[in-house]
């Protein structure tokens, strides 16, 4: 009976490619063959600090990180935030396409799993949303990514330690300085009962780094020793 219901569900709601939305014909597929070929992960050279693309391998830091002190140690991204990926991420965030998280988290694990496991973080922490905003949307896309990645790498996901306590304006509507003001003291921690020392922050998009810095600062102030991050997408340097 359960198998019959599952088959009916698949017929009524067929699995689609997260990039082009074509129906996937094989159960094991997460992305169609055409999009698999053209959806290329971000490659070196990238900024040694935040993972944004740089012009050549001799350039260690991107313009955004040059001369700036970050609270995180380093970060990496799977894709560049452009073209079809940008449209796909929009559907993932705002059109309830939570199922895309399976493909996205698989790519995170495939590309950075070995590096993450070698670093041995105590927990994955998704960047939290403001509570009312998450209630309206119904889910936190960063948590979807974190849970998928945590399951694949057998790393615990902690969603209670870091909280967003400030209602902020969407960052895309603001300039660089305005973003810093907007997110200042936006996060706080609860009691570090499990004594986390190394934390990997997870989010969907990295732009200026203000969100990551504020989250990392809150964690470091509460005794965490090192914070790194992994995001699905990063923007280009200004």
Which residues 6+ apart lie within 8 Å of 4 measured at CB? none
pLDDT for the residue 74: 97
Q: Where are the alpha helices (DSSP H) in the chain?
A: 2-12, 33-38, 83-94, 100-119, 131-137, 141-153, 176-183, 210-221
How far is it, in rounded angstroms, from Cα 154 to Cα 18? 25
Domain holding 29, by residue range, is 1-39
Same domain, 48 and 125: yes
Q: Model-level pTM?
A: 0.91
Same domain, 29 and 90: no
pLDDT for the residue 12: 54
Same domain, 216 and 152: yes
Same domain, 176 and 186: yes
Same domain, 146 and 175: yes
pLDDT for the residue 5: 46
| Per-residue confidence in pLDDT tens, the chain, 238 aa | 445 444 554 555 688 999 999 999 888 899 999 999 999 999 999 999 999 999 998 899 999 999 899 999 999 999 999 999 999 999 999 999 999 999 999 999 999 999 999 999 999 999 999 888 899 999 999 999 999 999 999 999 999 999 998 877 676 666 667 777 778 888 999 876 678 999 999 999 999 899 999 999 999 999 999 999 999 999 987 6
The count of domains in the chain is 2
pLDDT for the residue 193: 67
């Amino acid at each position: 009976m359960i198998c019959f219901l599952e088959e009916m569900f698949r017929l009524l709601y067929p699995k689609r490619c997260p990039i082009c939305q074509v129906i996937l014909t094989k159960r094991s597929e997460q992305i169609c063959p055409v999009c698999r070929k053209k959806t290329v992960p971000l490659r070196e050279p990238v900024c040694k600090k935040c993972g944004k693309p740089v012009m050549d391998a001799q350039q260690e830091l991107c313009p955004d990180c040059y001369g700036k002190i970050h609270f995180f140690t380093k970060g990496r991204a799977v894709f560049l935030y452009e073209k079809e990926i940008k449209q796909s991420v929009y559907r993932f965030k705002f059109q309830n396409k939570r199922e895309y998280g399976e493909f996205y988290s698989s790519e995170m694990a495939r590309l950075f799993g070995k590096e993450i496991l070698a670093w041995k973080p105590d927990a994955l922490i998704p960047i939290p949303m403001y509570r009312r905003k998450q209630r309206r949307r119904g889910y936190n896309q960063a948590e979807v990514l974190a849970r998928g990645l945590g399951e694949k790498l057998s790393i615990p996901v902690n969603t209670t330690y870091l909280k967003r306590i400030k209602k902020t304006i969407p960052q895309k509507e603001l300039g660089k300085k305005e973003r810093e003001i907007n997110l200042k003291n936006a996060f706080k921690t609860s009691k570090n009962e499990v004594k986390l020392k190394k934390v990997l922050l997870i989010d969907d998009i990295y732009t200026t780094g203000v969100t990551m810095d504020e989250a990392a600062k809150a964690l470091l102030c509460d005794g965490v020793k090192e914070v790194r991050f992994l995001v699905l997408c990063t923007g280009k340097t200004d």
